[in-house]
Amino acid sequence: GQQVMQIPQYQHVQEGEDFTTYCNSSTTLSNIQWYKQRPGGHPVFLIQLVKSGEVKKQKRLTFQFGEAKKNSSLHITATQTTDVGTYFCAGPNQAGTALIFGKGTTLSVSS
């Protein structure tokens, strides 16, 4: 069945280092969304990408949608302790009615 895969599962960085998480789909996606879940919290929407090759920035976060619309990445420049959490990508199911979430990448940051 349709899958959304994320790597790495865990990443630990020193504060100030960069971080990247990758998302891959077994099928072409019409769009991809990214969510962040703080420890003990709930997922919070970050961004949606729709166009092939699209790049969007939110302060230190850069989101990219692959040319083939089957992969995406989230890059954080100069991580801060406030970036701690699990980052999920999510793509549409086959019917286009709902999202399939990846397993997430959990980021920890030490100061």
Partner 1 sequence: EAGVAQSPRYKIIEKRQSVAFWCNPISGHATLYWYQQILGQGPKLLIQFQNNGVVDDSQLPKDRFSAERLKGVDSTLKIQPAKLEDSAVYLCASSRGQGAQETQYFGPGTRLLVL
Closest CA to 22 of 67, 61, 64: 64
Closest CA to 23 of 42, 41, 3, 6: 6
Tell which one of 24, 48, 62, 73 touches partner 1 (CB under 8 A).
Answer: 48
Residues of this chain, 52-81, that bind partner 1 according to CB under 8 A: none
Question: How far is residue 42's CA from residue 88's CA, in Å, rounded to a whole number?
Answer: 11
Question: How far is residue 55's CA from residue 87's CA, in Å, rounded to a whole number?
Answer: 17
Tell which one of 14, 82, 97, 111 touches partner 1 (CB under 8 A).
Answer: 97
For position 50 contacting partner 1 by CB under 8 A, the verdict is yes
For position 31 contacting partner 1 by CB under 8 A, the verdict is yes
For position 88 contacting partner 1 by CB under 8 A, the verdict is yes
Which span (11-19, 28-36, 56-64, 69-77) binds partner 1, by CB under 8 A?
A: 28-36
Residues 6 or more apart whose CB falls under 8 angstroms from that of 37 comprise: 43, 44, 85, 86, 87, 88, 104
Contacting residues toward partner 1, per CB under 8 A: 4, 30-31, 33, 41-45, 48, 50, 88, 90-93, 95-104
